[in-house]
Protein backbone atom coordinates (compact mmCIF):
# COMPACT_ATOMS: atom_id res chain seq x y z
CA UNK A 1 0.00 0.00 0.00
CA UNK A 2 1.25 3.47 -0.89
CA UNK A 3 1.95 5.62 2.18
CA UNK A 4 0.64 9.19 2.03
CA UNK A 5 2.58 12.31 3.01
CA UNK A 6 2.24 15.98 2.17
CA UNK A 7 3.50 19.51 2.67
CA UNK A 8 1.10 22.31 3.60
CA UNK A 9 1.59 26.04 3.11
CA UNK A 10 0.07 29.17 1.60
CA UNK A 11 1.41 29.80 -1.00
CA UNK A 12 2.67 26.33 -1.80
CA UNK A 13 3.52 26.23 -5.53
CA UNK A 14 7.18 27.05 -4.81
CA UNK A 15 7.71 24.07 -2.50
CA UNK A 16 10.48 21.63 -3.44
CA UNK A 17 9.36 19.07 -0.84
CA UNK A 18 7.47 16.75 -3.24
CA UNK A 19 10.54 16.53 -5.48
CA UNK A 20 12.91 16.00 -2.55
CA UNK A 21 10.84 13.31 -0.83
CA UNK A 22 10.06 11.69 -4.16
CA UNK A 23 13.78 11.38 -4.88
CA UNK A 24 14.45 10.03 -1.40
CA UNK A 25 11.74 7.41 -1.80
CA UNK A 26 12.95 6.41 -5.27
CA UNK A 27 16.54 6.02 -4.09
CA UNK A 28 15.46 3.76 -1.22
CA UNK A 29 12.73 1.83 -3.01
CA UNK A 30 9.93 3.15 -0.78
CA UNK A 31 6.37 3.39 -2.02
CA UNK A 32 5.03 6.80 -1.04
CA UNK A 33 2.78 9.49 -2.46
CA UNK A 34 3.79 13.03 -1.45
CA UNK A 35 1.54 15.94 -2.40
CA UNK A 36 1.20 19.70 -1.89
CA UNK A 37 -1.70 21.10 0.11
CA UNK A 38 -2.68 24.74 -0.32
CA UNK A 39 -3.90 25.38 3.20
CA UNK A 40 -6.66 27.95 3.62
CA UNK A 41 -5.77 30.69 6.08
CA UNK A 42 -7.57 29.77 9.27
CA UNK A 43 -8.18 26.25 8.02
CA UNK A 44 -4.99 24.41 8.99
CA UNK A 45 -6.65 21.97 11.40
CA UNK A 46 -9.33 20.98 8.93
CA UNK A 47 -6.78 20.40 6.16
CA UNK A 48 -4.57 18.18 8.32
CA UNK A 49 -7.60 16.35 9.74
CA UNK A 50 -8.58 15.52 6.15
CA UNK A 51 -5.11 14.14 5.42
CA UNK A 52 -5.25 12.00 8.57
CA UNK A 53 -8.69 10.70 7.65
CA UNK A 54 -7.32 9.71 4.23
CA UNK A 55 -4.55 7.69 5.89
CA UNK A 56 -1.80 10.30 5.82
CA UNK A 57 1.24 9.33 7.87
CA UNK A 58 3.11 12.63 8.03
CA UNK A 59 3.14 16.24 6.90
CA UNK A 60 5.74 18.97 6.49
CA UNK A 61 4.72 22.51 7.35
CA UNK A 62 5.86 25.73 5.75
CA UNK A 63 4.76 29.35 6.13
CA UNK A 64 2.42 30.53 7.50
CA UNK A 65 1.36 27.42 9.43
CA UNK A 66 4.30 26.52 11.70
CA UNK A 67 2.57 28.07 14.71
CA UNK A 68 -0.69 26.31 13.81
CA UNK A 69 1.23 23.03 13.67
CA UNK A 70 2.75 23.76 17.07
CA UNK A 71 -0.75 24.14 18.53
CA UNK A 72 -2.06 21.09 16.64
CA UNK A 73 0.53 18.67 18.04
CA UNK A 74 -0.24 16.66 21.17
CA UNK A 75 3.49 16.29 21.89
CA UNK A 76 6.45 18.41 20.79
CA UNK A 77 10.20 17.81 20.76
CA UNK A 78 12.55 20.05 22.78
CA UNK A 79 13.69 21.74 19.56
CA UNK A 80 10.10 22.48 18.58
CA UNK A 81 9.32 23.79 22.06
CA UNK A 82 12.33 26.10 21.98
CA UNK A 83 11.58 27.32 18.46
CA UNK A 84 7.92 27.80 19.30
CA UNK A 85 7.20 26.32 15.87
CA UNK A 86 6.72 22.92 14.24
CA UNK A 87 7.79 22.10 10.69
CA UNK A 88 6.96 18.39 10.70
CA UNK A 89 4.15 16.26 12.12
CA UNK A 90 3.92 12.49 12.56
CA UNK A 91 0.28 11.52 12.07
CA UNK A 92 0.23 7.72 12.23
CA UNK A 93 0.24 7.15 15.99
CA UNK A 94 -2.31 7.59 18.78
CA UNK A 95 -0.91 11.08 19.46
CA UNK A 96 0.24 13.73 16.99
CA UNK A 97 3.93 14.50 17.49
CA UNK A 98 5.52 17.76 16.33
CA UNK A 99 9.17 18.28 15.42
CA UNK A 100 11.37 21.09 14.15
CA UNK A 101 14.23 19.86 12.00
CA UNK A 102 15.40 23.21 10.61
CA UNK A 103 18.28 23.62 13.05
CA UNK A 104 19.40 20.00 12.72
CA UNK A 105 19.40 20.36 8.96
CA UNK A 106 21.39 23.59 9.14
CA UNK A 107 24.08 22.12 11.39
CA UNK A 108 24.36 18.92 9.34
CA UNK A 109 24.80 20.91 6.13
CA UNK A 110 27.40 23.14 7.76
CA UNK A 111 29.43 20.46 9.54
CA UNK A 112 28.92 17.37 7.39
CA UNK A 113 28.37 18.68 3.85
CA UNK A 114 30.50 21.83 3.95
CA UNK A 115 33.08 20.46 6.34
CA UNK A 116 32.97 23.54 8.55
CA UNK A 117 33.19 22.62 12.26
CA UNK A 118 31.42 24.74 14.84
CA UNK A 119 33.16 23.21 17.85
CA UNK A 120 35.47 25.76 19.43
CA UNK A 121 34.55 28.42 16.85
CA UNK A 122 33.19 31.94 17.21
CA UNK A 123 29.70 31.88 15.71
CA UNK A 124 27.52 34.88 14.85
CA UNK A 125 23.80 34.29 14.37
CA UNK A 126 21.90 37.17 12.76
CA UNK A 127 18.23 37.28 13.66
CA UNK A 128 16.12 36.25 16.64
CA UNK A 129 12.99 34.88 14.99
CA UNK A 130 11.77 31.33 14.49
CA UNK A 131 14.67 30.28 12.26
CA UNK A 132 17.21 31.45 14.83
CA UNK A 133 15.32 29.80 17.68
CA UNK A 134 15.22 26.51 15.81
CA UNK A 135 19.00 26.60 15.36
CA UNK A 136 19.88 27.16 19.03
CA UNK A 137 19.95 23.61 20.42
CA UNK A 138 21.78 22.09 17.42
CA UNK A 139 24.31 24.95 17.47
CA UNK A 140 24.97 24.56 21.19
CA UNK A 141 25.30 20.78 20.87
CA UNK A 142 28.34 21.40 18.66
CA UNK A 143 30.14 23.24 21.48
CA UNK A 144 31.15 26.55 19.90
CA UNK A 145 33.54 28.73 21.86
CA UNK A 146 31.15 31.66 21.48
CA UNK A 147 27.64 32.18 20.15
CA UNK A 148 26.59 35.77 19.58
CA UNK A 149 22.97 36.53 18.67
CA UNK A 150 22.44 39.87 16.92
CA UNK A 151 19.11 41.44 16.06
CA UNK A 152 17.56 44.82 15.29
CA UNK A 153 15.62 44.52 18.53
CA UNK A 154 18.02 44.25 21.46
CA UNK A 155 15.19 42.88 23.58
CA UNK A 156 14.59 39.89 21.30
CA UNK A 157 18.31 39.17 21.10
CA UNK A 158 18.60 39.34 24.88
CA UNK A 159 15.60 37.04 25.31
CA UNK A 160 17.04 34.45 22.93
CA UNK A 161 20.50 34.66 24.50
CA UNK A 162 18.98 34.07 27.94
CA UNK A 163 17.29 30.92 26.63
CA UNK A 164 20.51 29.76 24.99
CA UNK A 165 22.47 30.26 28.19
CA UNK A 166 20.25 27.72 29.94
CA UNK A 167 21.27 25.09 27.38
CA UNK A 168 24.87 26.08 26.71
CA UNK A 169 27.56 23.48 27.47
CA UNK A 170 30.51 24.29 29.69
CA UNK A 171 33.04 26.36 27.79
CA UNK A 172 30.52 28.03 25.47
CA UNK A 173 29.99 31.76 25.86
CA UNK A 174 26.59 33.14 24.80
CA UNK A 175 25.68 36.79 24.51
CA UNK A 176 23.31 39.14 22.71
CA UNK A 177 24.32 42.14 20.62
CA UNK A 178 22.86 44.95 18.60
CA UNK A 179 24.17 45.27 15.07
CA UNK A 180 26.09 48.43 15.81
CA UNK A 181 27.95 46.84 18.70
CA UNK A 182 29.40 44.23 16.33
CA UNK A 183 31.78 46.75 14.77
CA UNK A 184 35.35 45.53 15.13
CA UNK A 185 34.38 42.02 16.23
CA UNK A 186 35.46 38.96 14.22
CA UNK A 187 33.78 35.59 13.77
CA UNK A 188 34.67 32.24 12.24
CA UNK A 189 31.17 31.49 10.92
CA UNK A 190 28.32 33.94 10.26
CA UNK A 191 24.74 32.77 9.71
CA UNK A 192 22.03 35.04 8.34
CA UNK A 193 18.72 33.87 9.82
CA UNK A 194 16.92 37.16 9.20
CA UNK A 195 14.22 37.61 6.57
CA UNK A 196 16.11 40.49 4.93
CA UNK A 197 17.30 38.45 1.95
CA UNK A 198 13.74 37.42 1.11
CA UNK A 199 13.12 41.11 0.43
CA UNK A 200 16.44 41.71 -1.32
CA UNK A 201 17.68 43.72 1.66
CA UNK A 202 20.87 43.66 3.72
CA UNK A 203 20.82 43.22 7.50
CA UNK A 204 22.77 46.15 9.01
CA UNK A 205 25.78 44.06 9.94
CA UNK A 206 29.25 45.69 9.75
CA UNK A 207 31.67 44.18 7.23
CA UNK A 208 34.25 43.80 10.00
CA UNK A 209 32.52 40.65 11.32
CA UNK A 210 33.77 38.82 8.22
CA UNK A 211 37.45 39.48 8.89
CA UNK A 212 39.01 36.01 8.91
CA UNK A 213 35.57 34.39 8.50
CA UNK A 214 35.69 30.84 7.12
CA UNK A 215 32.03 30.59 6.08
CA UNK A 216 29.12 32.96 5.46
CA UNK A 217 25.83 31.04 5.40
CA UNK A 218 22.56 32.44 4.05
CA UNK A 219 19.54 30.49 5.31
CA UNK A 220 17.41 31.64 2.37
CA UNK A 221 17.85 29.45 -0.71
CA UNK A 222 17.62 29.85 -4.48
CA UNK A 223 18.19 33.62 -4.17
CA UNK A 224 21.66 33.63 -5.71
CA UNK A 225 24.15 36.19 -4.44
CA UNK A 226 22.06 37.95 -1.80
CA UNK A 227 23.13 41.31 -0.33
CA UNK A 228 24.37 39.45 2.76
CA UNK A 229 26.55 37.10 0.72
CA UNK A 230 27.78 39.97 -1.46
CA UNK A 231 28.88 41.86 1.64
CA UNK A 232 30.72 38.78 2.85
CA UNK A 233 32.50 38.26 -0.48
CA UNK A 234 33.47 41.91 -0.69
CA UNK A 235 34.88 41.61 2.84
CA UNK A 236 37.13 38.75 1.74
CA UNK A 237 35.13 35.62 2.62
CA UNK A 238 36.01 32.88 0.14
CA UNK A 239 33.38 30.34 1.12
CA UNK A 240 29.66 31.11 1.01
CA UNK A 241 26.57 28.92 1.05
CA UNK A 242 22.82 29.31 0.85
CA UNK A 243 20.14 27.23 2.52
CA UNK A 244 19.58 24.57 -0.14
CA UNK A 245 21.64 22.07 1.85
CA UNK A 246 19.69 22.92 4.98
CA UNK A 247 16.45 22.33 3.05
CA UNK A 248 17.55 18.89 1.89
CA UNK A 249 19.00 17.85 5.25
CA UNK A 250 15.93 18.81 7.27
CA UNK A 251 13.84 16.88 4.74
CA UNK A 252 16.10 13.86 5.20
CA UNK A 253 15.59 14.11 8.97
CA UNK A 254 11.82 14.13 8.47
CA UNK A 255 12.00 11.16 6.09
CA UNK A 256 14.09 9.20 8.57
CA UNK A 257 11.70 10.07 11.41
CA UNK A 258 8.74 8.85 9.38
CA UNK A 259 10.33 5.89 7.57
CA UNK A 260 13.13 4.67 9.84
CA UNK A 261 15.97 5.11 7.34
CA UNK A 262 17.89 8.27 6.42
CA UNK A 263 18.35 8.90 2.70
CA UNK A 264 21.50 10.30 1.16
CA UNK A 265 21.17 13.96 0.20
CA UNK A 266 24.03 14.69 -2.21
CA UNK A 267 22.11 14.18 -5.46
CA UNK A 268 19.13 16.24 -4.28
CA UNK A 269 21.32 19.11 -3.13
CA UNK A 270 23.19 19.15 -6.43
CA UNK A 271 19.97 19.15 -8.46
CA UNK A 272 18.52 22.06 -6.48
CA UNK A 273 21.67 24.16 -6.20
CA UNK A 274 21.53 27.65 -7.70
CA UNK A 275 24.88 29.28 -8.57
CA UNK A 276 25.83 32.10 -6.23
CA UNK A 277 26.40 34.77 -8.85
Q: Is residue 195 part of a domain?
A: yes
Task: Please state the domain count of the chain.
Answer: 2
In this structure, are strands 146-150 and 122-126 parallel, antiparallel, or unpaired? parallel
Percent share of the chain, pLDDT over 70: 100
State mean pLDDT over 187-206: 92
Residues 142 and 184 grouped into a single domain: yes
Same domain, 107 and 237: yes
Q: Are residues 193 and 268 in the same domain?
A: no
In a shared domain, residues 95 and 118: no
- Specify if 277 maps to a domain: no
Q: Which of 45, 66, 156, 223 is catalytic?
A: 66
Which domain covers residue 203, as residue numbers? 103-241
Burial 148-171 (b: 16+ CB within 10 A, else e): bbbbeeeebbbbbbebbeeebeee
- Predicted model pTM: 0.94
Same-domain check for residues 87 and 116 = no
201 lies in the same domain as 262? no
Residue 20, pLDDT above cutoff 80: yes
Q: How many residues does the chain have?
A: 277
**Residue 29, domain CATH:** 3.40.50.10860
Average the pLDDT over 166-179 and give the result: 95
Cβ atoms of residues 189 and 118 within 8 Å: yes
Q: Is the per-residue pLDDT at 86 higher than 90?
A: yes
Sign (positive or negative) of CA dihedral 4, 66, 227, 234: negative
Q: Is 66 a catalytic residue?
A: yes
188 belongs to a structural domain: yes
Task: Give the 3-state secondary structure of residue 99.
Answer: strand
Amino acid sequence: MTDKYAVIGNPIDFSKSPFIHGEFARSLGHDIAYTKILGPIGGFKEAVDALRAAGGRGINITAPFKLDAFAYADERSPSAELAGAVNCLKLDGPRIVGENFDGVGLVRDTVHNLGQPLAGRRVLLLGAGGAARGALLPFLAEGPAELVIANRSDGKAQELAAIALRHAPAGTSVRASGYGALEGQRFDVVFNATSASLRGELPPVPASVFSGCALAYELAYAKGMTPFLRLAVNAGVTRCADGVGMLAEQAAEAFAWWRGVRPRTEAVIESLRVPLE
